[in-house]
Structure formats: structure tokens, C-alpha cells
Structure 1
Amino acid sequence: MKFKDMPYERIDFVQVKEQLKGLMTELSEAKSGEEQFEIHRKFYKLNDRVQTQVTLCSIRHTIDTTDGFYEKEQNYYDEQVPEYSNLCVEYQKLLFASPYRKVLEEKIGSVAFKNMEIAMKAVSEEVIPLMQEENALVTEYEKLLASAKIDWEGEILNLSLLTPYLKSKDPEVRRKAAEKQNAFFDSIADQLDELYDKLVKNRTEQAKKLGFETYTPLGYLRMQRNCYGRKEIENLRRQVKEVWVPFAESIFEKRKERLGLETLTYTDEQVYGSEGNPQPEGTPEEILAAGQKMYEELSPETKEFFDFMMENELLDVFGRKTKAVGGYMTYLPDYKAPFIFANFNGTSGDVDVMTHECGHAFQGYLAAEDPIREHADIGMETAEIHSMSMEFFTEPWYGLFFGEEKTAAYTDMHLEDAVIFVPYGCMVDEFQHEVYDRPDMTPMERKEMWKKLEKEYKPHMDYAGLDFFERGCFWQKQHHIYSFPLYYIDYVIAQLCAFEYKIWMDKDRQSAWESYLKLCRISASEFHTDLLQQSGIESPFKDGVISKIVENLKKIA
């Protein structure tokens, strides 16, 4: 079914909660594991319907943030979903304590039961009002960023549509765009401080009510980290500081030389060379058509997937002034349909959408074949491997987007961008750990902390008089910090694994692709560290793996 034809109907949570309570009664009265599993399949059906309608609303709200109907519906779900989620946890408690647990575990797997245990620790009825308030604050932040109306030579742009000018080959245009961006964020500086302060205090209060000293351990549970913890992540960040930061700084040095600059500033570091960044050729429609050809040739599985996406109009990628910023992939369970949201803006980022978000969507499409819904419940550190690795697997088709002359430059830039992201991703993660370890920090103290971390992770950074960013406020434009706490390190973990695939495919493409398909299909039926092992990928938590990746990449970067 085409996305536009998918009917939306507001979920009546009074009715749904009664249905769920009825399933809980049936579960308690069941006489065997087989009977309980049949009841659990009814839960799948009920929950899929809820998730489909909630997701339809969310997509349509982000497609047009000025649509009053879906704004009202989104506010409704922000209020109602936490209570429903809590009742789902109560349902899971019955499964978890089932006398027929052995039979159920054989059906849905041990990972599912570990995730249930995590969920039970991460929510309770007592924190529902706080979760509702948190949702509302996050929505307010996203709407604040989407409200940007930046005057560019008589045209009004949002933050997404300003991006091409921030990456212009003309340094004066880049500087002007950065000043406009700086001015917008400066104009909402007090609101950004107030919103984040409220979010930190809210999340800390939730943690204390659930028996934690700070939000961090609760955040780990909500990120569903079921086989590693803070110790492993701190060890990863330590290794990045030791061996990756010098590597990334050497990439920035190359950019400085290509640009012919004495000093590389904030307005320059996103630009590959003096000719600017290689831009894709053709209209947005032609980029989609090139993507279809690419996936047709990559493999039979990807051809089937992308044909499905196009036939059902499951990509909304054209930039419009009233769309939310950013991009994402989500999933509509009732239709077994991934959905991709993005903002094409004429830059190489448009191609990144065709590779990155389609990596997510491809895995979601394959996972739909598995009738056990828990197996689709992957952690983000795994989900991002699917997307970031797909960016590398599609390298042979970059010419479809960039033409003969610019393909080599884009391939090189793409690898460089992935390398220089790793320290930044670690910096975002360490910053959040510091914030939630010391929730009483003032806004000014948080900004000083960010400046300190920038010196460790990005020692070359020079904002060249852009005062909002010089005050240590750059993190306030990183929406994950507000909207998805402690998420960002998952990108780093996944990027490091994707580099392993890049190194592997350069040696033996076919076996690397077979491993990737296996990884996608295993989904969440195995723990993250186990599925890496089964797929032939080394965990970046292991000492020495990051150094090994750096040594291999130095040969090609």
C-alpha cells in the first residue's frame, strides 16, 4: 500500500489498555507454554497496530510541522504513550515470571528475556508523568529548531536548506552562512539553556525515583545495552583519544592543505577541497532513479527491497520549508514497511541518505520476514552497522550519482568524513556522561565542559569569532543530546564495525557481503557482541582492534 493511502486512526488508549489487560488475564490463566505463546502472538497484533498508528502520526507530523491536526495528535501520543508503554512492561513481567518460561524462551530467545528484564528496571507507573513531560520538552526542542526562518538574499530558509551554503566552495559564502546559523542559535540561546536544564533535571528525577543515583545507568537501560556497559565504552573512548584523534587530525591537516589555508576554521572543516565538495548530478528524482539502479545491481535482495520502497512511495526525501530537520528511518509493522524521511538539499548528503538510511531500511525489510517481533528490537549500536556498512558496500555505484570526474573525490571525502566523525561522536558521549554525573551543573559550566572536551577530541577547532559556538554551545545544535540521551556513542561503535567491513570488502567483497546479510538477518535474536562474532567482525571494545583499524585505514585514507 502506498504511504499516502495508509489510513490513520487515533489509537483509543482506554480501549487498547483494556484489550491488553484482557491478554494479561489470559496469560495468567494459560495452562501451557504453547498456549501462552499463542496469546503472545495476539499481543504482537495489538502492539503492531498501536505502533503503526503512532508512527504514521509521527511521520506525518515531521513531514509538515505546521499541520495542526498531526501536531495535536503528536501531543496526544506524547502524553499517552508512556502510560501504555508502562502497561506493556507489566505484560512483559508476566512473560518473564511465567512457569513455562523455558518453552517461551525457546520460541522468542534469551535476548528477548534479557531485554524484558532491562525494561522492567527502566520504567514504572511513578515516573509516567515525568516521561510525559520529557516527551513534551523534546517535542518543544525539535519544533524550536524547525522554526528557523533564515533570510538568504530574499529567500527564507530553514536549517536544512541552509546546509548547501555552509558547505559552499566559496569561503565568503560559507562564512556568511555560518554567521546566519550562529545568529539563529544565538537568538534562541536562552530557550536552549532552559530546555536542556529542564531535561537534565527531569531525567535525573526519573532515575532517582527508579532507584538510581544518576540518569546514566537508567539511560544505558533505555538504550537497551544488554551485553556491555560504561566500563567498555570508557575503554573505547580512551583508545580513540590515544590512536584515533591523531589520525583524524592528520585528515584535517590534508583538508587545510587542499584548501590552501594557513588555519582551518569551523567554516572550512566540512569542505573537502578548493573546488568544494563533490555534488551529485541531476534532480532529486534522478537521484532516486540512480538509487534504484544501484540497488538493482547490488544484489537480488536489495533490488526487491528498493522496488518495494519506490512502488509504495516510502521515501519522503525532498526538502521543504515546513519539514522537520534531519533524517531517519522508521518502520510501519502492519504494512511490513520501512519508511525513510530526509531533506534533500543538493549536497552529497543526498547520496548519504540513499546509502545510509537505505541500509537501515534494508535491514528492516529483511527483518520483516521473522515472525518473532522481539527479534526486530535491535540496539542502536547494531542498527547503525547496517546503515554505515551499506555506505561502503555501495561504493562501486557512486559514479551513478557523481559522474566520472567527481566519483574519486566523493569516495575519498566519504571515507575522510567517516574518520573525522569518530572523535566527535566520542566527545558527544563523554559530554553527556559528565552532564548526567553532575546534573546540578549550570548552563555555563556545561559549556566550559564542552570547550575542555573540544581541546581533547578536536584540538584544531577554531570558530573564528562565531560567538555562539565560541562560548561552548556547539552541542546545542546536536539534537541527539536533547532528544536521544546517550545514543550518540552507538554511531561510533557502528562506524568502527563498518570500517572493518570496508577493509574486508576491499579484500574479498563477496564474503563480506554474505557476512553483512547474515548480520542483518540475525537481527536481535543474538546479543550484540555475539552477533559480531558470528558475522566475523571483531568488537571495537576489545583492546587493539581500534589500532588495527587505524593502521589499515592509513593505507587508503
Structure 2
Amino acid sequence: MKFTEFPYERIDLDKLKADFLALCEGVDKAQSGEELFALHQKYYKLVDDVMTESVIASIRNDIDMTDPFYEQERAFYDANMPIFRNLLVDYQMWIYHSPHRAYMEEKLGHVAFKNMELAQKAVDISLIPLMQKENELTTEYSKLLASAKIPWEGENLNLSLMTPYLTAEDREVRKKAWKAYTKFFEDNAEKLDSIYDALVKNRTEQGQMMGYPDFTEIGYARMNRNCYGEREIASFRQQVKRDLVPFVQKLHERRRERLGLDKLYYYDEGVFFKEGNPAPIGTPEEILKAGQKMYDALSPETAKFMQDMMKMELFDVLGRKNKRTGGYMEMLPNYHMPFIFANFNGTAGDCDVITHECGHAFQGYITADLPIHEHNQLTMETAETHSMSMEFFTEPWMDLFFGTRAKDYLSMHFEEFLMFIPYGTMVDEFQNMVYKNPKMTPKERKLLWRTLEQEYKPHLDYADNTFMEEGGFWQKQHHIYDLPYYYIDYCIASINALQYKAWMDKDFQGAWKSYMEFSKCSASLFFTELEEKVGLMNPFKEGTIKKIVEDLEKNL
């Protein structure tokens, strides 16, 4: 069956509540651990049904944000998923405090029970109205960005379709493109400020209602920070600033020389070669076929994965008007399959969809049938290790996408990969300071962003772009609005991916074996336990980033 043929039916909320009540009563009456675990299988089925229907509705809304039917369905889940999450936590608490907990902990694992504990910190029935409003606000932000119609060369383009012009070979073209792109954010600055201000206040109130001084603790609980916390992340940020930023500055200087420029400005930020960045060759359909050929060659497991994805048409990657910006992978539990959403725009980012998003999807695919569903409830730094490492494991096949410019792509990808880490870490520090100081004004938040840019990206010069110079760049970053405290997971995962890159350069099959073990173990172990098991250095440990940089310096 193809994705377009998947049936959709809105969940019956009243029936769902009754089913969960029956589950909780069943937990209370269970006479043995075996009986309780049998009941737990019914819980899995309920959760899978809800998640499948809500994900289908969400994807179809993202595909066309003007579709009135799925717009209504999205609004329904925005309002009711907080109720669902509260039902989950209520049920989990019955399990957590059951007389048969020892049996269940042995079956589900110690990570699952730690996550249940964290869930208690993140969800409560009293928060439901605030969580519903939070969902409304994030949807409003997505719809605002999706509504962008930027005048360009006689047509109106959305934000995603502007990307090729933002990195054009001709400097004057990209300067003009950035001016047009930025104007959308300037024109909507007041609305963007208003939405984010409301989100910060809303999330702060949620934290305070749970007894915390601000949103941070509830935010960390939502992210399932189950084996590290603020102290470790603060140490990671410090290591990035101290050990990685100076090295990345050298890469920017090397890029400036390669481009033959006296000075780098913001509109040069995504450009790596004087003749223009390498771009994938062929149509979107040909890019997908190249991806299938690549995964056929990588391993038997990846071959089967890509064959099933193509057969079921589980990609929506063409950039279109009224389509949500960005890209992601979502699992469809009842079909045991992932779905990949993206916006192809003719840049190297199209290839990244076939590597990065397929890294997520492949891991979800190979563990979709795990009997213990909790083992697939990944923390995000684990999930991003799957995707960001796949970007490197697929390097030997880049000629399929870039032809004679494959070598240029590999060079660009490696530099861009390293340049991202300071930016992603900066996003995390920005969010941390915003939520620690929720009374900041919109102007103060922008000043904070600009101050952090000078620490993490000191080469950056906005020239005559007042909006950017005053600290507005962050308002294009979906994660800051939609997924607080997520972005640092990309950076933590990047350190793992760099380790896999060094490993595969010496022993590809050995690195792939470790990666497969990392993927299959999933959430059966804590992230730090998982790294030790598969032979990776802990990114939080003092000296890890310094060692990686020293190795990079030798090869520069």
C-alpha cells in the first residue's frame, strides 16, 4: 500500500479515555508480572493507533497547509495531544508504582523506568490548557513561514525555494536574494516577536506550575535528558567555544581565500567554491533512484529498507507553494515504516535528505518490530547520531549525485558539518538564557543573539542588513519556536559522527558494524552506556572535543 492510500480516521477521544481507564484498572488488578505485561501489549496497540493517525494528519497538513480538512485535523491534535500525553503518564505511573514493578523493569529495561520518572516532571493535567495553547502558537509560526511569498524574477517563491539563490555563484544575485529573503522576516518581525514572547511566557508558566523556577527543568524532562543534565551541556558548550570555534575560524578563512574575497559577508556564508557550490545532477526522481542504488551497495539491510520506501512512496520531497518549510522523518507505527518529508530545491541539501533523513528512517525501519516499544523511544542525541553518521557512511557513493564534482561536495560537506556545530551550540545557549530570563523583551533577546554570534561566529559580518545586525537571524530557526532544547542534540551527535568518520577512514566495515549495533540497541541503554558499548568517546568528557580538533588540525 502507498502512503497516499493509507486510510485516515480521527481518533475517538472519549473511547481513548475509557480504554486508558480500563488499562489503569487492569494494572491495579493484575495478579502477576506476566499478567501485567500482557496488559501492556494492549497499551502498545492504543499508542500505536493514536500516533499513526496523528502523524498521517500532520504530514498531510504539512504537504498542503491550505487544505481545510487536514488543517482542522491538525487543530484537533494540537488541542488533544496534551490530553493524550497526560493519559500516557497516568498509565505509566500505575506501572511505575505497581507491586509487579520489578518484573516489568526487567522486561522493559532501566531506561524506560527512568523515562517514566521524567514524564512525571513534564506532564500534568493542570498543564493541558497551556500545552494546547503552546501547540496553537507553534502551528501559527509554521503557517506564517509557509505563507511566505517572496517576489523573485517575476514569480513568488516560498522560503525553501529561495535557497538556491541565497547560495548562488554570482555574489550580486545572492546579495539581492538575501535582501528579499530577509524582507519577509522584517515585514513580519512584530508577529514573530509576539509568537515567541507568548511561547516563552507560556512555557515558563508551565514550569512554575510544576514547581520549578522556570521552563528549563520541564524542558529537559520533555527531551528525556535521562543520563546528563545542564552541567554536562554547559561544559560541552564551553569546550565548543574554547576548542572548536578557533579551528572553524580557520576553515572560514580558508573558504575566503578559495572564493577570492577580501572579506566574508553574511551572504557569502553558505558558499564554498568560486564556481558555485556543487549541486545534485538529475531530476528529483533521479536523485531518489541514485539513493536506491547507493543503499543497495551499502549493505543488505539498507538495500531492503530503500526498496520498501520507494515501493510504498514514503517520500514527499518536492518543494511546492503552500508546503511547510524544512524536513523531517516520522514513524508510522501501524505500518512499521518511516516517512520522509522535505523540500528539494536544487541544492546539495537535496542529497542530505537522502543521507541524513534516511539515517533516521533506516534506524526506525530496522527496529520497528522490537517487541519492547520503549526501546524505540530514542533520546534525540541518539537519533541524530544515526542520521549525522549516515551522512559520512554514504560518502563513497557521492559521485552518483554530484558526478565530476563529488570531491567538491565531500570537501564542502565536511567544512559545513564542522561549521554547524558552533551555530547549533549557540542556539542552545540562546534558549537556555532566554528561559532563565523569561522577562526579556524582544529587543533584549535579539541583542543576546547578536552577542552570542560574536562569540560563536566571530567572522560574521552583516554589512548593511539592519535586521540581521540587530539580531534577527534566529527567527528563521524552527527548532527555537517548536522544539525548545532540541538543537544541542545535533551538536552532541556531530561529535559522534566525526568519530565514525575517522573510524571508517581506517576501517569502514568495523565502523559500520559499530553503527549497526548502535542503531539496533536504540533506547535499551542510556546514551552514555550506548557509546561505551560501541566504542565511542563521550562528547561531554573534558578533552573529547580537543582531541578531535587536534586530529583535524593534522589533516587540515
TM-score of the alignment, normalized to the shorter chain, above 0.5: yes
Aligned partners of 1:182 and 1:467 also within 8 Å: no
Deviation string 1:64-107 (CA, Å, 9 cap, x unpaired) is 11111000100011001101110110000000001111111111
Match of 1:545 in 2: 544
Specify the alignment match of 2:134 in structure 1: 134
Matches within 5 A, 1:461-472: 461-472=460-471
Does residue 423 of the first structure (1) align with residue 422 of the second (2)? yes
Q: List per-residue Cα deviations over 1:140-165 (Å, max 9, x = no partner).
A: 00110101001111111000000000
| Secondary structure of the structure 2 residue equivalent to 1:532 | helix
* Paired position in structure 2 for 1:3: 3
Report Cα offsets for 1:474-510 as digits up to 9, x if no partner: 1111110000001110000000110000011001111
Q: Could you tell me which amino acid in structure 2 is paired with residue 89 of structure 1?
A: V
Aligned counterparts of 1:374 and 1:556: Cα–Cα separation in 2:
41
User: Separation in 2 of the partners of 1:156 and 1:269?
Assistant: 24
Distance 1:401 1:553 in 2: 26
One-letter amino acid matched to 2:125:
E
**Contact persistence 1:265–1:462 (CA under 8 A):** yes
Question: Which residue in 2 is equivalent to 1:110?
Answer: 110
Say which SS state the counterpart of residue 168 (structure 2) adopts: coil
Most deviating of 526-535 and 367-376 = 367-376
Residue of structure 2 equivalent to 1:510: 509
Give the deviation of 1:269 after TM superposition.
Answer: 1.4
How far the C-alpha of 1:194 sits from its partner, in A, is 0.5
Q: Distance in 2 between matches of 1:452 and 1:467?
A: 15
Q: 2:291, 2:551 → 1: CA distance?
A: 29
Measured against aligned partners, the alpha-carbon deviations of 1:212-266 in whole angstroms (never above 9, x if no partner) come to 0011111110100000000000101111111100011111111111111111011
TM-score of the two chains, using structure 2 as the length reference = 0.99
* RMSD (CA atoms): 0.7
**Unmatched runs of 5 consecutive residues or more in structure 2:** none
Structure 2 CA distance for aligned equivalents of residues 556 and 156 of structure 1: 44
The 5-angstrom pairing of residues 295-306 of structure 1 reads 295-306=295-306
Residue 554 of structure 1, CA deviation: 2.6
Within 5 Å, give how 1:274-313 maps onto structure 2. 274-313=274-313
Matched residue, 2:72: 72
- Matching residue's letter, 1:66: T
Identity of aligned residues (%): 58
1:203 counterpart residue number: 203
Equivalent residues of 1:122, 1:221 under 8 A apart: yes
Alignment of 1:489 with 2:488, yes or no, is: yes
Q: What one-letter code is carried by the residue in structure 2 that aligns with 1:488? A: Y
Cα distance in structure 2, aligned partners of 1:143 and 1:87: 29
The equivalent of 1:318 in structure 2 is 318
More displaced 10-residue stretch of structure 1: 204-213 or 15-24 = 15-24
Cα distance, 1:553 vs structure 2: 2.1
Q: CA deviation at 1:179?
A: 0.3
3-state SS of 1:282 partner? coil
Contact 1:52 1:333 (C-alpha < 8 Å) held by counterparts: yes
Contact residue 356 and residue 391 of structure 1 kept, 8 A: yes
How big is the shift at 1:390? 0.2
The residue number in structure 2 matching 1:532 is 531
**1:167-217 deviation line (CA, Å, top 9, x unaligned):** 101001100110001111000000011001000000000000001001111
For residue 267 of structure 1, give the secondary structure of its aligned residue in structure 2.
Answer: helix
Residues 315, 339 of structure 1: 8 Å contact kept: yes
Q: Distance in 2 between matches of 1:13 and 1:369?
A: 27
Q: Which runs of 4+ in 1 moved over 3 A?
A: none
Match of residue 223 from structure 1: 223
CA contact 1:204–1:215 (8 Å) conserved in 2: yes
**Preserved contact between residue 95 and residue 101 of structure 1 (Cα < 8 Å):** yes
Give the aligned residue type for 1:374: E
Aligned to 1:88: 88
Question: Could you tell me how far apart the structure 1 residues matched to 2:127 and 2:181 are?
Answer: 37
Query: How far 1:552 sits from its partner (Å)?
Result: 1.7
Counterpart-to-counterpart distance in 2, 1:298 and 1:556: 26
Which residue of 1 is the match for residue 357 of structure 2?
357
Paired residues for 1:253-272 under 5 Å? 253-272=253-272
**Structure 2 equivalent of residue 334 of structure 1:** 334
Determine if contact 1:463/1:469 at 8 Å carries over to the other structure: yes
Is it true that 1:478 corresponds to 2:477 in the alignment?
A: yes
Say which SS state the counterpart of residue 340 (structure 1) adopts.
Answer: strand
| Deviation readout 1:374-402 (Å, 9 max, x if unpaired) | 01100001100000000000000000000
Does the residue aligned with 1:378 lie in a helix, a strand or coil? coil
Using the TM superposition, give the Cα deviation of residue 555 of structure 1 relative to its aligned residue in structure 2, in angstroms: 3.6
1:556 deviates by: 3.7
Q: 1:384-463 maps to which residues of 2 (within 5 A)?
A: 384-403=384-403, 405-463=404-462
Name the CA distance, whole Å, in 2 between partners of 1:126 and 1:518. 41
1:464 Cα shift?
Answer: 1.4
SS for the counterpart of 1:448 is helix
Match of 2:366 in 1: 366
Write the distance in 1 (CA, Å) between the matches of 2:62 and 2:552: 38
Secondary structure of 1:461 counterpart: coil
Matched residue, 2:37: 37
Aligned to 1:522: 521
Tell me, in whole angstroms, the C-alpha distance in 2 between the residues paired with 1:94 and 1:553: 50
Corresponding letter in the other structure for 1:438: N
Instruction: Give the TM-score, by structure 1 length.
Output: 0.99
